[in-house]
Amino acid sequence: MRLLLLSLVSGTLVLAVACPGLAQPPAASAPVSSGAAARPGGTGPASPAPGAALYLGEIDGLRAQQTALQAQAPDENQKKKIELLEKQIDTLEKLVKLLAKQIEKQAAGGAGVEQLQAQAATMDARTVQAAHRDVESAGAIDDIREHMDAQERYGPALPAQLKELFLPSGNNETPLSIYGTLAFGYSKILGDPTKAANGAGRPSTPGGFYFGEFTPDFLLKLNDWIFLEAEIGIGADGSVSAGSFAQADFFVNDSLTIIAGRFVAPIGWYNERNNPWSNKLPADAPGGGPLLWQQVLPTFSCLGVQATGACYIGCSPIKVEYAAYISNGLNLTPAAAGSPTIDELANLENMTNSFSVVTNSKAVGGRLGFWWPEAGLETGFSALYNGDYIAGGSDNISLWAVDFNYHKGNWDARAEYGMMYQQAQPFLSTDITRQGFHGQVAYRPRDSHNKYLQNIELVYRYGYVNFSGIDATTLDLTTYSTPTDVPTRRQQNEVGINYYFYPRMALKCAYQVNDEPGFHLHDNQFLTELAWGW
């Protein structure tokens, strides 16, 4: 059976391709083997082509096998074999006749043979090209495999200066990074001399440029678990002073860091993230910050020790942030020892120094926050207790605050509320309570098709403060840096527009409207500020 199938397939291919070997013209006169076909239309037998001769030889062999089987004792298997041999012989004879006819046709038209030969040559050339392409593809695949294997073994290719930071053996170099902020602007308070405030009209103050800050930040990595941070503040007059922080961070593990030195107090959201290039409104101008942080919650740095960290709650998408600290407390050193005035007690700027130690009491506090990064939501609660803050007295300060934040897509929203209790009864016959709120919303069309609109941001902020234990009519307004620092009941509306030249460089313009019911200070303010984080 296998020989039969082979014969059928071979014959079909020969007829389809008509290989040149079968196109040879027959000789004028040649003997015909047994079973050879005569040349049609001729007088003598046709000389078989090489292919036909092969088939004739196969026929002779099959007939010999048939004769040998017939000479043996007949049985069922032999009969089947003889029948199969007869079919094979019949098929081969038919193929010989077909080949003879094909040879005659090819002899009549040589152009067809040449065309077939050209097609066969073209196919051979294409086969060679395909084989070359297969070799090239195999080589390219091997190159990709070797490249991926090298990346997995040795990592991506890096410049020599950077690659040495990742050497398994480590190195003896200390990476130092320097970042910083530059902010300056223009402000003008618009007063009204025809209106009275504490018995005196307040004219417009001269407008002028102000120098907000130039604060280089030095970040030094000693090793994998010690990190040093320090900030230097340079004033407009060229004076140099300590910045908001100068601390050492000790990384205990991924969820806990111990901080020692001078660090920003983790009160609310604004105090720790008060950077000019990230604030949505001018904040470095005198009286330009949110009311809540000028008269209720102190913006200050602590000198002490803090434990802080963050981790996800189980398998949930919620991350918890935590911080707890102990430090030197807020303190007040009055001009007259042991006898602070109402203005000294009411002005928060007098108490934000935690470096001078005037009592043995310390400040303790912390913050607990919950952050859902995927949704852009964050909320937190902060608290602080400060022991005696006036030398020789028995008085303390306590405060608490809650904050809510949302940032996703084109929108950014902040809200904070806080209260502060300040014991002052030994000096004022009453204690002081402060409370305040500020909310802010900003919109920036980052998905706009216009590249200039993408860089514009619109901002609105509302704030209010209220006090008990402070009679504003008894205050000396000249002891406060700006009218907005005066602790009196006040509402504030502020609108602004920002343009971002770069992600950390923005020009901000804002107009601030302040309203003090029953005690008009007429301290509306125009502000513009260029903030650059470098």
Angle, to 10 degrees, between the axis of helix 76-108 and the axis of helix 50-71?
160
Do 402 and 336 lie in one domain? The reply is yes
Do 93 and 209 lie in one domain? The reply is no
Rounded to an integer, the average pLDDT of 113-136 is: 82
Do 136 and 171 lie in one domain? The reply is no
Residue 72 lies in a domain: yes
With bands split at pLDDT 50, 70 and 90, how would you rate the model's confidence at 26? very low
| Domain, as residue range, for 268 | 163-533
CA–CA separation, 422 and 329 (whole Å) = 13
Do 246 and 135 lie in one domain? The reply is no
**What is the average pLDDT score of the chain?**
82
User: What pLDDT sits at residue 325?
Assistant: 97
Q: Which amino acid is at 147?
A: H
Do 397 and 485 lie in one domain? The reply is yes
Report the share of the chain in percent with pLDDT over 70: 82
User: What pLDDT sits at residue 73?
Assistant: 65
Residue 14 lies in a domain: yes
Indicate if the pLDDT at residue 35 is higher than 80. no
Residue 42 lies in a domain: yes
Residue 114 lies in a domain: no
DSSP string of 27-66?
PSS----TTPPBPTT-SSBPPPPHHHHHHHHHHHHHHHHH
Do 153 and 168 lie in one domain? The reply is no
DSSP state of 484: G
Do 175 and 151 lie in one domain? The reply is no
Residue 446 lies in a domain: yes
With bands split at pLDDT 50, 70 and 90, how would you rate the model's confidence at 78? confident
User: What pLDDT sits at residue 23?
Assistant: 39
Rounded to an integer, the average pLDDT of 83-92 is: 80
Q: Which amino acid is at 125?
A: A
User: What pLDDT sits at residue 168?
Assistant: 67
Query: Is residue 412 within a helix (H) or strand (E), and if so which, with residue range?
Result: strand 411-422
Residue 21 lies in a domain: yes
Residue 13 lies in a domain: yes
Residue 113 lies in a domain: no
Q: What is the pTM of this model?
A: 0.67
Do 80 and 222 lie in one domain? The reply is no
Q: What is the CATH number of the domain that holds 255?
A: 2.40.160.10
Do 235 and 309 lie in one domain? The reply is yes
Indicate if the pLDDT at residue 194 is higher than 70. no
Do 393 and 496 lie in one domain? The reply is yes
Sign, CA dihedral 295-301-303-307, equals positive
Question: What is the domain count for the chain?
Answer: 3
Do 347 and 274 lie in one domain? The reply is yes
Pair of tokens at residue 503: 């992600």
Neighbours of 26 (CB within 10 A): 18
Distance, C-alpha 304 to centroid of its chain:
34
Do 145 and 230 lie in one domain? The reply is no
